[in-house]
Structure formats: structure tokens, C-alpha cells
């Protein structure tokens, strides 16, 4: 049971090559726009055809290039929620839902279930954003899909509406027992809504794991950046097994596996620890830094700084530290001009080999 | 007063319009789904009659359907002769008005959001249903505009028509050819009547186009 996907598709210079399996849970596809997320969903739904591979849903083969199987989208039982909902503008709410259910009684039942009573005879452009999404959900779910694909449903919405629509989707996710794929470029959204996350870059899945695990220790540079880590550096291995962080100009100790070759390291902006002046003796992974600017965010302060004594500043040399405003005020009182000393705790360092 | 040219013009334009409606939509939908280069080639071929002088189109039609040429000769065996017959006017009108229908319909198809068709497919709707109940209604405005334009063009067709079917009062005369003939024989009063008939029809058509555009504007 579940959904298993293994497909390759070449369009122009772009090469899509993805492979994953998911049971009755929510899989997030996280990636920047143009990384192949939507193309993957379209291949599963059958509106795009992969060059080769195999797609199996609950023991039904939807696509198999070797056996020449390519079920039309009509027979796949794949529910697809489009980015702009793709409601038929020439049909009323009731007619739209009936396109999914094929049955008037069932359509009315779903209209009731999704709190759309009273809007049956309205056209999509007369509906609010929340209602549109509910019509799209009712239409899709009333067609009894065996898997559900959600293609960036909240893009281009304001924050207030976003939060409300996200709750609607959450209710569906809790209710439906089927493999669900949620696609987005927003790491927070993906984190809130899914169980497992696959990070996509350039048509490939570069990292896939349980979401807590992924955010705690992403395995690749792409997934580290996509999960929101702002501080990364290239590494140079030294003879004693330690590493030199070339973009930060410091030595990094205690890599987790001695026999593994790491190429990048990073830490999250809120993970730094302050070191009061003169107390850094005997401590490792210390950053002596020069503050460049302080940026006030809604509920936090973001401090941008350069490590001191860098031979050459690169695009990764400007680092970020994020903390709450009261904490920052305390730190500032004990600060020596624009200079600050911080430590990257061992457990906060993300080590990446690719 | 002989009203034959009005009746003849209306039936030629009407029948040509029906033919162009279906062939134009079919060709437009086909071209819309073709990949890049083929689309360009087909597009050029199908639009050619719009940029050629109608007399050149008429000349080509004579080359194909003239009774001394193979196809025309072959058709004559079955009693079909486009040259110098009223229904030859349909042929001429179809050829010159087809590009208008084709281009407007293709423009309408191209502005259609393909995700709607994808959504319909994933919901299990048949291709036929998607075409007639979703794609066509949403492209209605462009298709209607194309139909009206083709009808107007067919009604006003002169060049290819006069080459192919000439002017025989009571047999092949249309409004456009009649105006020319009456003027040629110095019957200004007669020509003026047909000029006003033509103006009246054109005005009705233009108002219809405007109403269609407003309704969906």
C-alpha cells in the first residue's frame, strides 16, 4: 500500500530524476521554484508523461515505461489541488463539486460538509479565498482519490488568509487516510503540515528524512539552506582531523565522524552563545567578530557580522545572529564597541559532506 | 427591383460561415497543441489567404477547380462545377474568411488556462466533456468574435468571387459584384441602393461584435 514513485523526465536542459515512497502520511516536497516539484506532481497525476520509470499507487500500476503502461489521468484516482484551485469559472459551486462527485446527492453532501451551503448557485469569482479553497477541496475529495497532491496552495495569499486556509488543509490531512504530498517553497509551511520532508534541488531529491531529523541535521548544503540555515562555510580538512572554515577564517573541531570527509559546515542564526570578554580561553569554535548592522524584525533582532581577521571576505562571510530584543540589550551593555565574541556550540554545528 | 444578390450573398456567407466555424476551430485546436516548429509552418500556410490579394486566391482556385484542370474536370463528372456557379462563391468565401476564424479561435485557445483541463482530467471528466463543457464555453468570446468576423468577411468578399464565379444576374450575382457591375454601366442609383444595403448589414454586424465584447468585458 502507499505511493511509490520513480521517474525520469527530460525537458530542454532540465532533468527530473526523483524516486520516493510514502505510506498513509504526509510527505513534503520542499524546493525553490523551478526545481521540479510541480512537474513531479503532474507526472503522478498523469497530465505529464515521464520519459521512463514507474509509479505505483496502492498496488495499482499507474505508469510503467518498461511494460508500456500509462493510465490516463481519468483512471488514476489522484486528487490534485492546484495552486490557484483551477475551479471552472463557467460553472456554479454545485456544478463544480458535481464534476468531482458525478452525483448530485453526493455533491450536496460535500457542500454541506465543507460549509458551502448557500453558495451552491454562485460562480467562483463571487467567492472568498477560503470558500474557493473549500470548493476545490470538496470537488477533489468527492471524486474519492486514493492519493492527494497539494501544489503550493497558499502561494500569493496574505498572511491572515494563509493561516486560515492552512487550518482547512490541516483538517483534511487529519481526516483523510491516504498518501498526501504537499509541495511548497516555504520551509515553515512544510514543517507545520508534513511528517517527512524531501528536499528538491534541480530536479533531484537531495535529502529526505523525518522532519525533526531533517531540520536538526540536514545532510546536504542544499537542504541546509532550504531549511533556513543562514550561516554556512566551505571546509578545508587539516592534518590533525580538524577542519578550517575558509569563509569564516576559524578552525572547527569535533567533526562527528573521523573517517568521513566533510565539505561544508553551518549553524543556525539563533544557536550562537555569547562569550564575555576574556573568557574564551580553552574554548573551541570561537568567532571574534565585528558587527556590521542590527536589523529589527517583528519579534527578534538580527545581527549581521564579519569574523575578524579574514584574509578574504566571500559571499558566505557575512554571518547572522538572531536573538530576542531584551537579550540583545543585555549583551549590548557589556559590549566593547562594535566587537563581539561568540561561540558556536558543538551540537549546533551542521556538518555536510555534499 | 431584383433582390437576388442579397439572398445569394446571405446564403453564400451563411454556409461559408458554418463551414469555417467548424474547420477553423478544428484547425486552431490542432495547431494550438502542435510543438513549436510545426505550429509555425501550419500557421503560415493557414494564414496565407489573409495576406494574399483575394484575386490571387481566386487565381489559385481557378487553377484547381477550372474545368480544364484535373480536379475540376474530375468533379464535373459528378455534375459539380464550382466555376461560374453560385456555390463556387461559397468556396471563395471559405478560403478568404477561414484565416480570420482560425486566428481568433487560436488566440482564444492560447489564453485558456491549461490547468483547468488538467483539473478536469484528474477529476475523471472525459476529454469530450472537457472540450465542449469547459474549454469551448471559456473560449466562447473569441470564437464568437471569429465567427462574426468571418461572416462579415464572407459577405464582403469580391476579388476571389469575381475571379471564380464572375457576375451573372440572377445566378452568381452577389452584393459586392452587383455594386461593381451597376457602377460600371453607369447605373449610380442602382449601385447606391446596394451600397446602402451593404452599409446596413455591416452596421448590424459591428453592433453585434461590440455587444459580444461588452457582455464579457
Question: Of A101, A128, A127, A126, nearest to A113 (Cα)?
Answer: A101
Alpha-carbon span A64 to A187, nearest angstrom: 32
What's the confidence (pLDDT) of residue B217? 44
In this structure, is residue B156 part of a structural domain?
yes
Alpha-carbon span B51 to B73, nearest angstrom: 29
Alpha-carbon span B164 to B91, nearest angstrom: 9
Spell out which chain A residues touch chain B, with contact meaning CB-CB distance below 8 angstroms.
Answer: 42, 45-47, 72-76, 78-80, 82-84, 86, 88-90, 99-100, 102, 139-140, 143, 145
Q: Write b or e for each residue in B19-48: b if 16 or more Cβ atoms lie within 10 A of its Cβ, otherwise e.
A: bbbeebbebbbebeeeeeeeeeeebeebbe
CB of A68 closer than 8 Å to CB of A76: no
User: Phi, psi (5° rounding) for residue A315?
Assistant: -65, -15
A190-218 pLDDT, tens digit per residue, is: 999 999 999 999 999 999 999 999 988 88
A319-329 pLDDT, tens digit per residue, is: 999 999 888 88
CB of A309 closer than 8 Å to CB of A315: no
**For residue B10, what is the domain's CATH number?**
1.10.3720.10
The model's confidence at residue A172, banded by pLDDT at 50, 70 and 90, is: confident
Alpha-carbon span B53 to A40, nearest angstrom: 50
Coil, helix or strand for B44? helix
> Nearest residue of A to residue B136 by CA position?
A90
A225-254 pLDDT, tens digit per residue, is: 888 888 999 998 887 778 888 888 888 887
What's the confidence (pLDDT) of residue A131? 92
What's the confidence (pLDDT) of residue A227? 87
Alpha-carbon span A170 to A55, nearest angstrom: 26
Range of the domain at B138: 4-174
Taken in order B41, B46, B47, B49, the sign of the CA dihedral is: positive
Low-confidence ranges of chain B (pLDDT < 50): 217
The pLDDT > 90 percentage for chain A reads 49
In this structure, is residue B211 part of a structural domain?
no
Question: Of B139, B143, B119, B122, nearest to B20 (Cα)?
Answer: B143
A41-99 pLDDT, tens digit per residue, is: 999 999 999 999 999 999 999 999 999 999 999 999 999 999 889 999 999 999 999 99
- Tell which of A45, A55, A62, A88 to mutate to test the B interface (max B CBs under 10 Å): A88
The pLDDT mean for chain A works out to 89
The model's confidence at residue A127, banded by pLDDT at 50, 70 and 90, is: very high
Q: At what angle do helices B4-33 and B175-184 cross, to 10 degrees?
A: 130
In chain B, how many domains are there?
A: 1
What's the confidence (pLDDT) of residue A279? 65
- pLDDT exceeds 80 at position A284: no
Average pLDDT over residues A135-147: 95
Choose between A279 and A287: higher pLDDT: A287
What's the confidence (pLDDT) of residue A116? 94
In this structure, is residue B205 part of a structural domain?
no
What's the confidence (pLDDT) of residue A253? 81
In this structure, is residue B204 part of a structural domain?
no
Task: Determine whether the interchain pair B118/A42 forms a contact, defined as Cβ–Cβ distance below 8 Å.
Answer: yes
Q: Per the structure block, which three cell numbers stand in for B23?
A: 474547420
The model's confidence at residue A288, banded by pLDDT at 50, 70 and 90, is: confident
What's the confidence (pLDDT) of residue B216? 53
CB of A338 closer than 8 Å to CB of A291: yes
Alpha-carbon span A32 to A70, nearest angstrom: 29
Listed as own residue / partner, the contacts of A337-341 with beta carbons closer than 8 Å and 24 or more positions apart are: A338/A290, A338/A291, A339/A288, A339/A289, A339/A290, A339/A291, A339/A308, A340/A274, A340/A289, A340/A290, A340/A291, A340/A303, A340/A305, A341/A274, A341/A275, A341/A276, A341/A277, A341/A280, A341/A286, A341/A287, A341/A288, A341/A289
Q: Per the structure block, which three cell numbers stand in for B19?
A: 463551414
Starting at the edge strand found earlier in the chain, the sheet holding A339-343 runs A273-274, A339-343, A286-296, A301-307, A319-323
Task: Determine whether the interchain pair A47/B126 forms a contact, defined as Cβ–Cβ distance below 8 Å.
Answer: no
Average pLDDT over residues A145-151: 95
Alpha-carbon span B183 to B187, nearest angstrom: 6
Question: Is B216 at the interface with chain A, CB within 8 A?
Answer: no
Coil, helix or strand for B203? helix
> Nearest residue of B to residue A138 by CA position?
B123
In this structure, is residue B188 part of a structural domain?
no
What's the confidence (pLDDT) of residue A251? 85
Secondary structure of chain A as H, E, C letters: CCEEEEEEEEECCEEEEEEEEECCCEEEEECCCCCCHHHHHHHHHCCCCCCEEEEEECCEEEEECCCCEECCHHHCCEEEECCCCCCCCCCCHHHHHHHHHCCHHHHHHHHHHCCCCCCCCCCHHHCCHHHHHHHHHHHHHCCCCCEEEEECCCCCCCHHHHHHHHHHHHHHHHHCCCCEEEEECCHHHHHHHCCEEEEEECCEEEEEEEHHHHHHCCCCHHHHHHCCCCEEEEEEECCCCCEEECCCCEEECCCCCCCCCCCEEEECCCCCEECCCCCCCCCCCEEEEEEEEEEECCCCEEEEEEECCCCCCCCCCCEEEEECHHHHHHHHHCCECCEEEEECCHHHCEEECC
What's the confidence (pLDDT) of residue B141? 85
The model's confidence at residue A176, banded by pLDDT at 50, 70 and 90, is: confident
Question: Of A335, A331, A334, A314, nearest to A323 (Cα)?
Answer: A331
Question: Is B119 at the interface with chain A, CB within 8 A?
Answer: yes
Question: Is B138 at the interface with chain A, CB within 8 A?
Answer: yes
The model's confidence at residue A4, banded by pLDDT at 50, 70 and 90, is: very high
CA A109 → CA A122, A142, A170, B153, distances in Å? Answer: 17, 9, 20, 51
In this structure, is residue B207 part of a structural domain?
no
Question: Is B136 at the interface with chain A, CB within 8 A?
Answer: no
Residues of A in contact with B126 (CB under 8 A): 74
The model's confidence at residue A27, banded by pLDDT at 50, 70 and 90, is: very high
- The ipTM estimated for the assembled molecules is 0.81
Task: Determine whether the interchain pair A74/B138 forms a contact, defined as Cβ–Cβ distance below 8 Å.
Answer: no
Amino acid at each position: 500500500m502507499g505511493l511509490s514513485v520513480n521517474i525520469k523526465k527530460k525537458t530542454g536542459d532540465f532533468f527530473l530524476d526523483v524516486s520516493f515512497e510514502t505510506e498513509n502520511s504526509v510527505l513534503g516536497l520542499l524546493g525553490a521554484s523551478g526545481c521540479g516539484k510541480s512537474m513531479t506532481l503532474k507526472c503522478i497525476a498523469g497530465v505529464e508523461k515521464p520519459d521512463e520509470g514507474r509509479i505505483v499507487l496502492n498496488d495499482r500500476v499507474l505508469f510503467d515505461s518498461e511494460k508500456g503502461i500509462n493510465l490516463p489521468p481519468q483512471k488514476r484516482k489522484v486528487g490534485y489541488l492546484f495552486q490557484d484551485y483551477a475551479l471552472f469559472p463557467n460553472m456554479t459551486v454545485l456544478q463544480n463539486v458535481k464534476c468531482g462527485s458525478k452525483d448530485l446527492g453526493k455533491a450536496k453532501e460535500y457542500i454541506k460538509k465543507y460549509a458551502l451551503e448557500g453558495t451552491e448557485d454562485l460562480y467562483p469569482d463571487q467567492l472568498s479565498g477560503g470558500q474557493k479553497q473549500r470548493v476545490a477541496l470538496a470537488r477533489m475529495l468527492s471524486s474519492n482519490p486514493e492519493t492527494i497532491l497539494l501544489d503550493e496552495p497558499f502561494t500569493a495569499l496574505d498572511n491572515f488568509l494563509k493561516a486560515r486556509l492552512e487550518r482547512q488543509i490541516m483538517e483534511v490531512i487529519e481526516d483523510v487516510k491516504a498518501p498526501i504530498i504537499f509541495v511548497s517553497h516555504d520551509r515553515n509551511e512544510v514543517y507545520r503540515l508534513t511528517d517527512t520532508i524531501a528536499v528538491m534541488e534541480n530536479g533531484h531529491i537531495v535529502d529526505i528524512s523525518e522532519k525533526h531529523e531533517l531540520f536538526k541535521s540536514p545532510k546536504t548544503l542544499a537542504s541546509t539552506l532550504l531549511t533556513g540555515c543562514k550561516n554556512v562555510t566551505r571546509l578545508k580538512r587539516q592534518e590533525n582531523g580538524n577542519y578550517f572554515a575558509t569563509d569564516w577564517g576559524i578552525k572547527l573541531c569535533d567533526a562527528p565522524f573521523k573517517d568521513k570527509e566533510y565539505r561544508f559546515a553551518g549553524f543556525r542564526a539563533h544557536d550562537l552563545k555569547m562569550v564575555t570578554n576574556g573568557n574564551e580561553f580553552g574554548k573551541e569554535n570561537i568567532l571574534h567578530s565585528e558587527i556590521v548592522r542590527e536589523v529589527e524584525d517583528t519579534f527578534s533582532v538580527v545581527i549581521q557580522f564579519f569574523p575578524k581577521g579574514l584574509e578574504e571576505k566571500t559571499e558566505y562571510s557575512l554571518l547572522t545572529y538572531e536573538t530576542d530584543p531584551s537579550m540583545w540589550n543585555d549583551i549590548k551593555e557589556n559590549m566593547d564597541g562594535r566587537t563581539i565574541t561568540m561561540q558556536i556550540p558543538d551540537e549546533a554545528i551542521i556538518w555536510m559532506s555534499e | 427591383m431584383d433582390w437576388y444578390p442579397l439572398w445569394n450573398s446571405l446564403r453564400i456567407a451563411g454556409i461559408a460561415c458554418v463551414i469555417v466555424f467548424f474547420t477553423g476551430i478544428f484547425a486552431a485546436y490542432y495547431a494550438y497543441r502542435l510543438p513549436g516548429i510545426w505550429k509555425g509552418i501550419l500557421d503560415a500556410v493557414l494564414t496565407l489567404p489573409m495576406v494574399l490579394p483575394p484575386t490571387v486566391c481566386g487565381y489559385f482556385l481557378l487553377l484547381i477547380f477550372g474545368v480544364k484542370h484535373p480536379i475540376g474536370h474530375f468533379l464535373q463528372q459528378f455534375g459539380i462545377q464550382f466555376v461560374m456557379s453560385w456555390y463556387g462563391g461559397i468556396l471563395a468565401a471559405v478560403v478568404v474568411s477561414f484565416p480570420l476564424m482560425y486566428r481568433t479561435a487560436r488566440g482564444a485557445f492560447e489564453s485558456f488556462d491549461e490547468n483547468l483541463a488538467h483539473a478536469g482530467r484528474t477529476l475523471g471528466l472525459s476529454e469530450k466533456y472537457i472540450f465542449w463543457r469547459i474549454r469551448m464555453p471559456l473560449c466562447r468570446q473569441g470564437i464568437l468574435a471569429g465567427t462574426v468576423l468571418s461572416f462579415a468577411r464572407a459577405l464582403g468578399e469580391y476579388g476571389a468571387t469575381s475571379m471564380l464565379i464572375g457576375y451573372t444576374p440572377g445566378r452568381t450575382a452577389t452584393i459586392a459584384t452587383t455594386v461593381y457591375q451597376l457602377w460600371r454601366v453607369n447605373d449610380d442609383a442602382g449601385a447606391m441602393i446596394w451600397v446602402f444595403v451593404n452599409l446596413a448589414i455591416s452596421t448590424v454586424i459591428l453592433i453585434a461584435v461590440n455587444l459580444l465584447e461588452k457582455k464579457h468585458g
